[in-house]
């Protein structure tokens, strides 16, 4: 058995992918670290079909055992983030089959993102580009010599160019997050310093619009409890986007609250392994038919107002994909003039 395990370990190290050794009854004999991380830490000793369900898997296993034929199967894992794999089975020796699971999520995501990026850019940039070309033509026709008209047109052109720049920046940001969405980050992020740093940077902007920004932590939590598993820069982007929305769309002379508490499941049950950050603002109630679509790309409740205040329609889409990458949950609710964006994240564990 030691020799068999050593041979398996050598082969698994060579391919550097999730690898498993199966016996003639499809039980998992050995699994490398990648396989344990993907399918679960307790898969050894159990039939593989408990963890991988594919209509052609049994046939592929039989061909490998009985006819020494290699099989390749496409497999999609439907979880919080959709992942694409290729399963390859080949005879290892007369009693065992080697299963290697190749993760093709990145290549599939890149192809889809490239296609979406081209479609989105061509559609969303058409309007500002048309406006710029129109103003350039007007200036060329003589308006450039009319001081007031020239200044007016140049100001609009600058605004449209800025809008295009923000749009491209957000599209690139969204594409990067989507490409990495299947790889959850695992850094230890202290939540309170991040939120306090963000609030300090944004209080002046909130004050200019007649709003105050406050942070409150539940009494049963201490600073040492407020650690989440994630990527700090991405989490800052999440909370910055949500606070910016609260500043933009909240009522003047109102309070924007950041509340930190123990996380909850979708059912409402508290879970101590989760932390929740709520961003609450006072303003117009968002109708239910809009709430379900807020995280769609380019979805705007009021397109004219959103563009007027500089929105690209991508902020909440970016937030959703970052939260998904962190294996968290985003929920937006709105009633009685109060809108709450809740971000629930897994707490960091030293174990």
| CB crowding 308-319: b at 16 or more within 10 Å, else e | eeebbbbbbbbb
| Residue showing tokens 């002379």 | 253
Q: What CATH number was assigned to the domain covering residues 2-103?
A: 3.30.450.20
Asked if 24 and 32 touch (Cβ cutoff 8 Å), the reply is: no
pTM of the model: 0.63
- Backbone angle region of 336, left / alpha / beta, with phi > 0 → left and psi within -120 to 50 → alpha: left
d(CA 96, CA 243): 56
Distance of CA 335 to the CA centre of its chain: 26
Phi, psi of 77, deg, nearest 5: -100, 115
Q: What is the mean pLDDT of each run of 10 residues along the chain (351 residues)?
A: 84 86 89 87 88 82 84 75 80 89 69 63 73 80 74 81 81 80 87 93 90 90 85 94 90 90 80 92 87 80 57 83 91 90 89 60
| CATH of range 105-183; options 1.10.10.10, 3.40.50.740, 1.10.287.130, 3.20.20.70 | 1.10.287.130
Residue 118: the pLDDT is 63
Structure tokens at 109: 């995501």
Within 180-297, residue ranges assigned H as helices are: 191-208, 232-249, 288-291
What are the tokens at 73?
């199967």
What's the rounded Cα separation, in Å, for the pair 165 and 163? 5
The predicted structure's pLDDT at residue 307: 55
For residue 171, give the nearest of 312, 319, 293 by alpha carbon. Answer: 312
Per 3-state DSSP, the chain is made up of helix, strand and coil in percentages (nearest 5) of 45, 25, 25
- pLDDT number for residue 286: 87
What are the domain boundaries of the chain?
2-103, 105-183, 184-351
pLDDT at 69: 85
What are the distances in angstroms from CA 135 to CA 123, 128, 158, 289, 307? 20, 11, 11, 37, 19
Q: Dihedral of the CA atoms 327, 333, 339, 343 (nearest 10)?
A: -10
The pLDDT value given to residue 65: 81
Question: Which residues lie across from 227 on neighbouring strands?
Answer: 190
184-351, what's its fold? Heat Shock Protein 90 (3.30.565)
What's the rounded Cα separation, in Å, for the pair 180 and 191? 22
């Amino acid at each position: 058995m030691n020799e068999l395990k050593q041979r398996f370990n050598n082969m698994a190290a060579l391919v550097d992918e999730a690898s498993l050794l199966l016996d003639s009854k499809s039980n998992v004999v050995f699994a490398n670290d990648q396989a344990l991380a993907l399918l679960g830490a307790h898969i050894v000793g159990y039939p593989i079909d408990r963890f991988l369900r594919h209509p052609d898997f049994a046939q592929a296993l039989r061909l490998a055992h009985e006819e020494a034929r290699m099989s390749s199967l496409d497999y999609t894992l439907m979880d919080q983030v959709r992942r694409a794999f290729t399963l390859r089975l080949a005879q290892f020796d007369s009693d065992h089959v080697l299963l290697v699971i190749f993760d093709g999520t990145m290549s599939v995501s890149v192809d889809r993102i490239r296609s979406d990026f081209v479609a989105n850019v061509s559609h969303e940039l058409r309007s500002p580009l048309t406006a710029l070309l129109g103003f350039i033509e007007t200036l060329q026709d003589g308006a450039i010599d009319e001081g007031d008209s020239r200044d007016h047109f140049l100001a609009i052109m600058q605004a449209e160019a800025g809008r295009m720049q923000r749009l491209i920046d957000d599209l690139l940001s969204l594409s990067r997050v989507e490409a990495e969405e299947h790889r959850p980050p695992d850094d230890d992020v202290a939540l309170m310093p991040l939120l306090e740093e963000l609030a300090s940077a944004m209080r002046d902007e909130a004050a200019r619009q007649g709003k105050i920004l406050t942070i409150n932590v539940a009494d049963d939590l201490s600073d040492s409890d407020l650690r989440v598993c994630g990527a700090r820069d991405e989490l800052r982007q999440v909370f910055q986007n949500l606070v910016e929305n609260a500043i933009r769309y909240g009522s003047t002379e109102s309070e924007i609250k950041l509340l930190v508490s123990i996380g909850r499941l979708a059912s409402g049950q508290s879970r101590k392994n989760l932390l929740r950050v709520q961003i609450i603002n006072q303003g117009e109630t968002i109708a239910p038919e809009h709430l379900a679509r807020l995280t769609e790309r380019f979805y705007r409740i009021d397109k004219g107002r959103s563009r007027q205040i500089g929105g690209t329609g991508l902020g909440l889409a970016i937030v959703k994909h970052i939260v998904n990458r962190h294996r968290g949950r985003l929920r937006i609710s709105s009633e009685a003039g109060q809108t709450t964006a809740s971000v629930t994240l897994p707490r960091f564990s030293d174990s």
